Amino acid sequence: MADGNPDDVRGTGKLHDKVALVTGASRGIGLGIARALAGHGASVVITARTAGALEEARADLTRDGATVVSHAADVSAEEEVEGLFAAVRDQFGRLDLLVNNAGAFDGGPLDKLSLAAWDRVIATNLRAPFLCTRAAFRMMKIQGGGRIINIGSISAQRVRPNSAPYSTSKHGLWGLTQVTALEGRDYGITCGCLHPGNILVERRQASALTEDQEPMISVESIAEVAALMATLPPDVAMLESIVLPHRQAYVGRG
């Protein structure tokens, strides 16, 4: 686990005494959420599979004095998840916020879809959040509470063709969110699902100005909503939030 640079950022902000873990945080939405949480004073643990990209993200986030540590892990692998949470426990002694953001997309016509593509997406988008939620629950029950935020998708409610693994996984994540919220109720653990629409992440920037490009909103916009969910009073839960460009087709989409 690589140490960040402690500074007085931890002494200010709504999350100044909190520890947050963000998966899939080396880029895109995960990196944006980690930045927003650090901006509210949280100590942030970021994880992703690629150690080099993760370290670059950590160095970027610590420039403003935030406390950020990195731990490379494949969160779809049980042993690596256990190692990740053991490292969080050893360094901080607690975990107040888990953001299940790591995601993968693959698809195609159902009759041509490979089992490998299906398994890869389900493992990243559904198995991984389950493993991390289970590990977080074990810590949060002992310490008397915590919050879990799952990054879903509008595909959990409005599907498109050729997206069977992704849409199925996001439907499942919404189900996991509800069960987590229900089972966490007696332990002070809240859980909510943030469903983004089109977000202008790195892979979409090259085509952002083409005529056929759908409307997009910035990573910062979605991260701001995640931070809002994270900074709610502990007795308040935002079970579900849908955030998308106001011109994006959603109601009646196909």
CB 113 within 8 A of CB 165: yes
Integer CA distances (angstroms), 29 to 9, 86, 151, 230, in order: 22, 25, 9, 15
What's at 16, amino acid-wise? Answer: H
Integer CA distances (angstroms), 142 to 86, 121, 145, 148, in order: 14, 32, 8, 15
State how far the Cα of 130 lies from the Cα of 135, in Å rounded to an integer: 9
Distance of CA 36 to the CA centre of its chain: 12
Say which DSSP state 12 is in: S
Q: Which residues are catalytic?
A: 166
For residue 197, what are the contacts with CB-CB under 8 A and spacing of at least 6?
154, 217, 242, 243, 244, 245, 248, 250
Residue 43 in tokens: 């100590």
CB 231 within 8 A of CB 149: no
